[in-house]
Amino acid sequence: MARDHEMTAVEALRANVAVPFERARAMPPAVYTSEDFVQAELDHIFAREWFCIGRADALAEPGAYTTAELAGEPVLVVRGRDGALKAMSNVCRHRMSVLLEGRGQARAITCPYHGWTYNLDGSLRGAPAMEKNAGFCKADYALPQVRCEEWLGWVFVTLNPDAAPVAQRLAPVEAMIAGYDMTNYTENFYEEHVWDTNWKVLAENFMESYHLPVCHADTIGGLSKLEDMICPPGLPAFNYHTILKDDTLRIAMAHPTNTRLKGDERRTTFLLAIYPSLLITLTPGYFWYLS
């Protein structure tokens, strides 16, 4: 019965997205409420796709780390002493305790339960009293590695060893925004929020600026006109739309020293939705993102 319900939601979604772009409608309610559909997303999306866990410049120093969970698997990303970013399981090999929480800085990775300590590359450095076990070998207890790649300053991880490289999937995005030089944008503020909703509700809100003149009338909405928004059909790896910002919003304009952007490019904001969950507002003057 659960399988039938899942297929009903999937088939309803397929029918929904099969119509021409100009006749688009809201997705079927079941894709937001069905537990079976969520499980299908975990199995086919969260366990297989690339997920962005933040900006590389936020992990600039050796020992800087961040954590995430993919399809129920705790993952950590840390800057190694060799300067490279590494992703690995965030679960101790001893009694399965989660090792690190949130973001931070660490000289080593130490389990809060029994004190097993791992080097920044995931190798086991020490395990109290385990030398008394004649069969114990530290080399057998390294943290499993997870695929990790950087793209335009973003850090991506995936549980899927066969996933195509990020740069290959997102080559059209890189070409489209080349003049913005997003690699050199710097993250100056970060915070986390917990939303009591289906993840797609937040993602979809970001994918449209139709609400800006109403919900943000006193801020950016007053400087964003619906007639100046361009919304092309989505592509396999991402969708986007652009807004021509009013010249009075100086922070969103290209800096005078920026000679890469010409004409209307100097006041064009890109709103990029990179599937499944990296959402970027990219202006010539600043950016912000959800991931």
Find out whether 92 and 66 touch, Cβ atoms under 8 Å.
no
pLDDT at 1: 42
Q: Which residues contact 143 (CB under 8 A, 6 or more apart)?
A: 88, 89, 90, 91, 93, 109, 118, 122, 123
83: left (phi over 0), alpha (psi -120 to 50) or beta: left
pLDDT at 171: 98
Higher pLDDT, 36 or 96: 96
Q: State the pTM of this model.
A: 0.91
Higher pLDDT, 27 or 220: 27
Higher pLDDT, 65 or 14: 65
Work out the average pLDDT over 204-230: 83
Find out whether 264 and 252 touch, Cβ atoms under 8 Å.
no
Cα–Cα dist 91/110, whole Å: 11
pLDDT at residue 129 tops 60:
yes
Instruction: Mean pLDDT check: name the lowest of 10-19, 149-158, 181-190, 250-259.
Output: 250-259
Rounded to the nearest integer, the mean pLDDT of the chain is 92
Cα–Cα dist 208/185, whole Å: 23
pLDDT at 7: 56
Higher pLDDT, 97 or 250: 97
CA 115 to chain centroid: 31
pLDDT tens per residue across span 132-154: 998 999 999 999 999 999 999 99
The architecture of the domain spanning 52-158 is 3-layer Sandwich (2.102)
pLDDT tens per residue across span 151-195: 999 999 999 999 999 999 999 999 999 999 999 999 999 999 988
Number of H helices, E strands in the chain: 7, 15
Residue spans of the domains in the chain: they are: 2-46, 52-158, 170-290
pLDDT at 29: 92
pLDDT at residue 246 tops 80:
no
pLDDT at residue 3 tops 90:
no
pLDDT at residue 6 tops 70:
no
The DSSP call for residue 128 is T
